[in-house]
Copies of this chain bind each other. A is one copy, B any other.
């Protein structure tokens, strides 16, 4: 009798459940629930009330997560015809850091009438960017106090991360901070709702909340220096009991069983993060193979045997991706977003017409035209910083650059230059890991882009000088979560005793891969040298024009 596991992937706009055959990873059924309130970035969804949000805010409604369980899990059971008895485990992954303040029993503050109209009581989504002043304070105080842990995060804590968001609540809504018994990642909160037990996972704690297995959280004195009321935040509102990825969090409660149609007692895995959970689903459970989750942005994940501070990475966490190994993460903030911006703002009507006449997607048309160009033929070079630079410069104030345009420059040349720029950005990351004793021998790609753009994949292979393999699954996070669900259930229940075993049978790559082409590589080496020169000139302070322009812009807007 076949056994099954379910992975639930909580994305930015929707949640997705996938029911997977534990024996070989076959994805039997999928269901998607678009959140009823989506991303809340203009006003709170309270009928009859006009409570508007400041710019850069991004919230969610925690009940949308419960509704995801209620809608998607019964749907995959029904679509597959699989018996709930044969579903041995469930795992979830989430965007991160996406966090919320809750009461001791897990009730979100925003569900209490007293706090419903306070935006700070709602879920702060990963892309809530309003906590930059708090992030600046966190970094300044850390440098002043010489905090070693800064090195683990490439020298900078992001405004997106846990304590930046916590500190913003404390700064702007101390009553919400005071009323919150627990401050918790949404990932851990949904597992709590499934199992009735509050657990904290090593992945979000490590990558987003400055925790490490060996050193724990920063000292209370550090938090106290940020704000005296924050001194004991960990002991008062969080937990020091951080559970490694791959553990079982608990079993499905009777209530959660009712939501989902699964058996009470079904194994539930410790929560995980969408990007990180994709790594074993991309067959990677060992050092040397970098996983790239390629979509609007790129997350780069690689495993290491030992601890190395790699400049400009997003962080490294022991047990953060695979138990027993250091999980290194780096990132590019703007990849697919680049091309979307380009298509929306820079593609002339004649191209739209051609695409429409030929029944093609405009991206496909641009790819077709760009693919006819040889490397170096456009004479263009770009810096891929339209949304700042995460790795390795860790600087949100950097901006985009396009150089080499002439009156003969065509849209497809710019399009290709943007692709190449993001490939050069990846090359910088790969080279930086390699230089810091975290080897990267092969790349494994997953996410939306590899499916959509073969030209882009070939350019990445040429620029990075490495073979790129592609995952067989197009929903690797959900598959990864299902794999961890099977591990939570254990071998005795028909699952696996470790994620290593699960990956061997449940994760697959496509047969075809992208091999670097020698003559392209040669030209790209020359272009990359020029990219690096500009990268360092504009990115490392020699010419701060990008920041000066942002400052002038801010002054101009302030005056108006």
For A406, give its contact among B377, B399, B543, B557 (CB under 8 Å).
B399
A348 CB–B CB distance under 8 Å: yes
Asked whether, in the complex, the Cβ of A553 is within 8 Å of the Cβ of B402, the reply is no
Taking a contact as CB atoms under 8 Å apart, the answer to whether A411 and B556 are in contact is no
Closest CB-CB distance, A153 to chain B, in whole Å?
Answer: 24
CB neighbours of A534 from chain B (8 A): 543, 545
- Who on chain B is nearest to A373 by CB? B556
Residues on B with beta carbons closer than 8 Å to the beta carbon of A387:
406-407
CB nearest neighbor in B for A409 = B345
Interfacial residues of chain A within 496-541, with CB under 8 A of chain B in the complex: 523, 526-527, 530, 533-534, 537-538
CA A470 – CA B57 in complex, angstroms? 49
- Contact yes or no, A552 B527, CB < 8 A: yes
A376 interfacial contact with B, CB 8 Å:
yes
**Residue A346 contacts which of B348, B530, B557 (CB distance < 8 angstroms)?**
B348
Question: Is the CB–CB distance between B526 and A552 below 8 Å?
Answer: yes
Indicate whether A146 reaches chain B with its CB closer than 8 angstroms: no
State how many copies of this chain the complex holds. Answer: 2
CB–CB A543/B549 < 8 A: no
CB-defined contacts of A523 to chain B, threshold 8 Å:
552, 556
In Å, the complex CA distance between A426 and B367 comes to 38
* CB atoms of A401 and B399 under 8 A apart: no
Task: Report yes or no: B560 in contact with A548, Cβ–Cβ below 8 A.
Answer: no
Report if A352 contacts B (CB, 8 A): yes
Contacts of A545 in B (CB 8 A): 381, 403-404, 530, 533-534
A409 to chain B, nearest CB (A): 7
Any chain B CB within 8 A of the CB of A410? yes
- Which residues 367-406 of A sit at the B interface, judged by CB distance below 8 A? 374-381, 386-387, 399-406
A378 to chain B, nearest CB (A): 7
20 A-B residue pairs with CB within 8 Å: A338-B407, A341-B409, A345-B409, A345-B410, A346-B348, A346-B411, A347-B348, A349-B352, A375-B556, A376-B553, A378-B553, A379-B399, A400-B403, A401-B401, A402-B405, A404-B550, A527-B552, A530-B545, A533-B543, A533-B545
Beyond known contacts A345-B411, A376-B555: 15 more, CB 8 A cutoff? A334-B407, A346-B348, A348-B349, A376-B549, A376-B556, A381-B545, A386-B407, A387-B407, A400-B402, A403-B549, A404-B549, A404-B550, A523-B556, A534-B543, A537-B543
Residues of A within 8 A of B (CB): 334, 337-338, 341, 344-349, 352-353, 374-381, 386-387, 399-407, 409-411, 523, 526-527, 530, 533-534, 537-538, 543, 545-546, 548-550, 552-553, 555-557, 560
